[in-house]
Amino acid sequence: MKAHDGMYIDGAWRPAAGPDVIEVVNPADERVIATVPAGTVEDVDAAVRAARAALPGWAATPPAERAARLAALRDGLVARRDEIAETVTAELGSPLKLSQTVHAGVPIAVTGSYAELAATYAFEERTGNSTVFHEPVGVVGAITPWNYPLHQIVAKTAPALAAGCTVVVKPAEDTPLVARLFARAVHEAGIPAGVFNLVTGLGPVAGQALAEHPGVDLLSFTGSTAVGRRIGAIATGMVKKVALELGGKSANVILPGADLARAVNVGVANVMSNSGQTCSAWTRMLVHRDQYDEAVELAAAAAAKYGDRIGPLVNAGQRERVRGYIEKGVAEGARLVAGGPDSPHERGYHVSPTVFADVTPEMTIAQEEIFGPVLSVLRYADEEDALRIANGTVYGLAGAVWAGDEAEAVAFARHMETGQVDINGGRFNPLAPFGGYKQSGVGRELGAHGLTEYLQTKSLQF
């Protein structure tokens, strides 16, 4: 076990204000692998003060220079790719291949995209007799989750730095080790002291202190809708800007003319990836009643093939939460066709890849975010019925539509109340805006839309 000391504040690793520590547990074998300091109100205050002091200089830095620092940061992440992957596997439990391709690969791509955007974005424009300046919003408080621990830090930090903002990050307590790696990469990239600061700590202590700090101009939070509501209420009460990336219960709609086998297999893979710990996962598969039985057979067979190939859930509490939803699905009358609440391993926080059939739209497992490897397969009568079911939750983060004719899929997708829809298996695009309708959040991340979240406008009339 390694005991990590210090917070990255004002360009240096500084001792924490208090003696408390957080134990980092490997979810695959339940062993404590490290400790990090549990930050206090004093640590958060020191970090925010450092960010405020660094703001004027960084905001005045030419965009081309900010772009150069971000490019250096990207290169630093590339150089650490294997270390990043191994660290995420140790603290999150994800299989090493997934850690390399997604947990390390996607943040590298996103950092690179903001290096390019910082150099090319029009921070000034003319409209009529006015010049409009796009200026940094100020100090950003970023509270990030454990499910994609480096990607979520980068998706907030990279656009904030590109915009000229300074940042204080409070990473999830389950996955603080990759955040410390990121801070080292920031330091080596030559980003000035105080521009990026890292405080590890518990949500109700350090997270709350960051949310309530009067020196923070924008709060960016990714996590559950329940916590997001509290963060949003704090921000609104203090008249701060807020960006919230929250829960999802995304629909994977398979229209009758689609390639059924491909749609089902890709849909199951989408839910099982990262052990189902993905806010945008397509956890509801909607299939026409004439193809329903075949789709259920395909889904059960696809899930069974995963077996031991998915990693554990992040912690014991998450495992019990997911097991509870599986038991509730059975109790409410859904039919278990793959998996179940039992763990396939003696140690580790594992849950078997699970598929439910005969799920109706009002069931708990069709309405609430489970955040585990659990798929619900629902039947629909016609497209109108499918759309009603797809839009029939409080969430609206992502989704998918499969059809024999692309135009038909697009027409259906345009009526879905959701922020992002993949058509016939469209690939992830790090330049496309990501974010939700309804209770899935406020604001967008990634690409130019993600950059504008960290900018405010000033117009000069001539």
* Nearest partner of 156 among 281, 147, 166, judged by Cα: 166
Catalytic position from the list 91, 165, 212, 279: 279
Q: What is the largest distance, in Å, between two alpha-carbon atoms of the chain? A: 72
- Residue 357 and residue 387: Cα distance in Å, rounded? 19
Amino acid letter for position 327 = E
Amino acid letter for position 288 = H
- Residue 247 and residue 397: Cα distance in Å, rounded? 7
CB 82 within 8 A of CB 50: no
Q: Report pTM.
A: 0.97
All CATH 3.40.309.10 domain ranges of the chain, comma separated, are 251-429
* Nearest partner of 171 among 144, 202, 211, judged by Cα: 144
Sign of the dihedral through C-alpha 258, 262, 268, 273: negative
User: Burial, 126: exposed, middle or buried (Cβ in 10 Å; 0-12, 13-18, 19+)?
Assistant: exposed
Residues 6+ apart with CB under 8 A from 420: 280, 397, 398, 399, 432, 433, 434, 435
CB 298 within 8 A of CB 285: no
Phi/psi region, residue 422 (left: phi>0; alpha: psi -120 to 50; beta: rest), is beta
Catalytic position from the list 173, 212, 245, 453: 245
CB 139 within 8 A of CB 215: yes
pLDDT of residue 76: 98
Cα of 303 vs its chain's centroid, Å: 24
pLDDT of residue 342: 86
445 in active site:
no
CB 376 within 8 A of CB 367: no
All CATH 3.40.605.10 domain ranges of the chain, comma separated, are 2-246+440-461
Which runs of E-coded beta strand occur in 249-313? 251-254, 284-288
Q: Return the structure tokens found at 221.
A: 């939070």
In order along its 462 residues, the chain shows pLDDT tens digits of 999 999 999 999 999 999 999 999 999 999 999 999 999 999 999 999 999 999 999 999 999 999 999 999 999 999 999 999 999 999 999 999 999 999 999 999 999 999 999 999 999 999 999 999 999 999 999 999 999 999 999 999 999 999 999 999 999 999 999 999 999 999 999 999 999 999 999 999 999 999 999 999 999 999 999 999 999 999 999 999 999 999 999 999 999 999 999 999 999 999 999 999 999 999 999 999 999 999 999 999 999 998 778 999 999 999 999 999 999 999 999 999 999 998 888 899 999 999 999 999 999 999 999 999 999 999 999 999 999 999 999 999 999 999 999 999 999 999 999 999 999 999 999 999 999 999 999 999 999 999 999 999 999 999
At residue 235's C-alpha, the angle toward residues 234 and 237, to 5°, is: 65
Residues 6+ apart with CB under 8 A from 381: 288, 289
pLDDT of residue 346: 86
- Superfamily per CATH, domain 2-246+440-461: Aldehyde Dehydrogenase; Chain A, domain 1 (3.40.605.10)
CB 377 within 8 A of CB 400: no
279 in active site:
yes
- Residue 323 and residue 325: Cα distance in Å, rounded? 5
End-to-end CA distance of the chain: 64
Q: What share of the chain is helix, strand, coil (3-state, %, to 5)?
A: 45, 20, 35
Question: What is the third-level CATH fold of 251-429?
Answer: Aldehyde Dehydrogenase; Chain A, domain 2 (3.40.309)
- Residue 273 and residue 94: Cα distance in Å, rounded? 9
- Residue 358 and residue 135: Cα distance in Å, rounded? 52
